[in-house]
Structure 1
Amino acid sequence: MNFKKKLLPVLAASALLIFLAASGIFIRESGTASAKSSRYENLDSFTEVMYLIERNYVEPVENKTLVDGAIKGMLQGLDPHSTYFTEKEYKDFQVETKGEFGGLGITIGMRDNILTVIAPIEDTPAFRAGLKSGDRIIKIEDNSTTGLSLEDAVNKLRGKPGTNIAITIHRDNVPKPFDVTLTRAIIKVKAVKSDMIGKDVAYIRVTQFKEDVSGEIKAAIEQLRKNKYKGIIVDLRNNPGGLLTEAINVSSIFLPSGKEVVYTKDRTGKDQHFKSSTFTLREEKTPLVLLVNEGSASASEILAGAIQDYKRGILVGKKTYGKASVQSIIPLRDGSAVKLTTAKYYTPKGRMIHDKGIEPDLAVEDVSDNVTLTQDEIDKLAADISKPVIDMQRDEQLKAAVEKLREMIKNG
């Protein structure tokens, strides 16, 4: 096995049967993890506790179980995004970045140490049940989530497709917590939906930055070009992120090649820069509006930050989530892996995204946050998942985006 360090950028809302908070992820080969140093040799207390457990605990415990638990606890104490994957969990993680997984269809994260919904994913049980960005999950199957780690929450929420799970939600402006029962399902995410708004506006809804989403956007644009649109709206609302490579590729559609899209900075101050490439399809000059909200995270924020910094387009909606740290996935020799926060993302102009978010150029509250989909709309989603639901009457943010884009088109 080659143990030379190698970074493969992956940014993510990691989807572990439900998506985790979108996060910057790099995958690197193991090797340095096995390096020994005198500073780690003083593990007497750890060894002593293991010995006491093995000799005195009421039930027999496997050594592997103790070590796994110790590693999980050590990483959990750092931040909500650093964690340990068992061999099975790591295999699940690798499968889930392909865009098909089992679960509820929500992106979750920790906000103020409370398990919080970042975004429901369209066409999933969570979306159809009406879960919203900002909902706080205070109970899972009547058990409090207080003190529960992100990974443990994921393990409780995942399960066999077709089985039910009850969660208790606390929502702002709702007097009392309420219960929601969801049926787990195999989630096949349609990452790109597109349609025309009138005869002049191309509308592209991007639900996550999964593998080859840039290719799907390219195909959507090629199809929409037949309508001779004059401007483009890219809707990143409730998009929790995904792969860094795809954030760069999508940016490359709208920015000239060679432009810095984002850079990272680690604990030593070392920078790593990512630039736009020569993409096969380009829309460098077409008037552009990006729709964002508090459910837009990670890769969505990278794209939004680059577009805003270069004044390539206008951001409409609400401030983004503010999740843009880099997690390095370090595979271990036994097939397990460690996910460790190693850097933070910055926009081309040096703005740190993490915990700050991206402010829109045009702030618009979304009254549709308080509107539930009708059964007809749900049926439409089920019948044709390639088409977004466009509601210019209730969607104030989309309405404002269209008006702003048409103003940009008119002014040349």
Structure 2
Amino acid sequence: MTAPAIDLRNVDAFVEQRHHEMFAWLRANEPVFRDPGGFWALTRYDDISAAYLDHTTFSSAGGPMLGGSFSSGAVDTAANRMLVASDPPRHRMLRQLMHKVFGPGFVAKVAEQVTEVVNRAVDKALADGGCDFATDIAPELPAGALMAMVGISHAEAHELIDMTRRMIGFRDPNWVDTSEDERLRLAVIQSEIFEFFSDLLRARRRDPGEDMVSILATAEVNGRRLPDEDVLYNCMNVAVGGNETSSYSAVAGVLALIDNPDQHALLLDDPGLTDSAVNEVLRWATTNAYVLRVPTRDVEIGGKLIRAGEPVTLWNVSANRDERHFPDGDRFLVRRSPNRHITYGVGIHRCIGSVVAQVELPMLFRRLATSGVRFELAGDIVRLRSNFIQGITRLPVRMSA
């Protein structure tokens, strides 16, 4: 394969889904790659897993995505305040608090609420003969979860989802006005999310309940309550992470079934394959394309010397198709086993919300399989313009059972 022109900041490469060939070339020829944007990229499964596990060397405090602290020389304002942007020992303390939010009781509530709103959406789509799966059904997964976890209405959940969508899609002209200054645009959207949770926080401080905001509002670390900013950052972390992963994975999964009718037939014939199929959807979709780490010391990987402070990106989307771990990795196989994808990350930074996604996605795909729902594309697909989150924002389909 001829060496491609590689610039991992190039949004269009992700929109047009050309990046899998690019990552295959990198894994084979330059698995530790210095991008023209001034950061390093790890593309092999083993190197990425090792970096995830070595949280002493690879700090998360620079934030999870490119365009953060390293590009401006400033310290990320969420450093050691938001779970995803913290290192031990602070990370350990925050994670213990967040485990209360994702305990069995909450997960059971999420399952009940998600089942209700998703079944209603699927029933309507079947009655109508189809829908835009990306806007009419998939967002009901995070909507139901937010209703259960945050204690908000269905309308408020969708209001919040709209804000997080604009935050992740802050470079997408389908979501925002891209003529405005990029950093200002992102800051305004983030402030809207903070304001949403600030109102909830004030209400929960007056009258605490059993929801996520109340738990964080009354939580203590070393005998002290969390500052409001820490509560807000972690609420935003949960909202953004949960909203994007489950919804976009669901849409990618439906498109994979459309594109691979033989695999869809296997699932329809045997809905018992749902858990395996969902695992393959998660590998295939790899919604979170990469995460950012900043080394605290000089480190050598694959014969390349990476200096302390030089940003390193861990490309989950490449690891999940690494030929050394996933034979026929470019094929969607609902029976794939083993399937040790790293869509949720590895080690202490494995996504804490994965327990919720593992309730939401099987519920949806089991409903679709047991009802014998079949899909047919009914229009153009629109992909999210982002080099951080892989997503499909429009998927018009005809549906029949």
Structure with bigger helix share is 2
Q: Which has the larger radius of gyration?
A: 1
Fold equivalence (TM over 0.5): no
Greater relative contact order (CA < 8 Å, ≥ 6 in sequence): 2
TM-score range, shorter chain: under 0.3
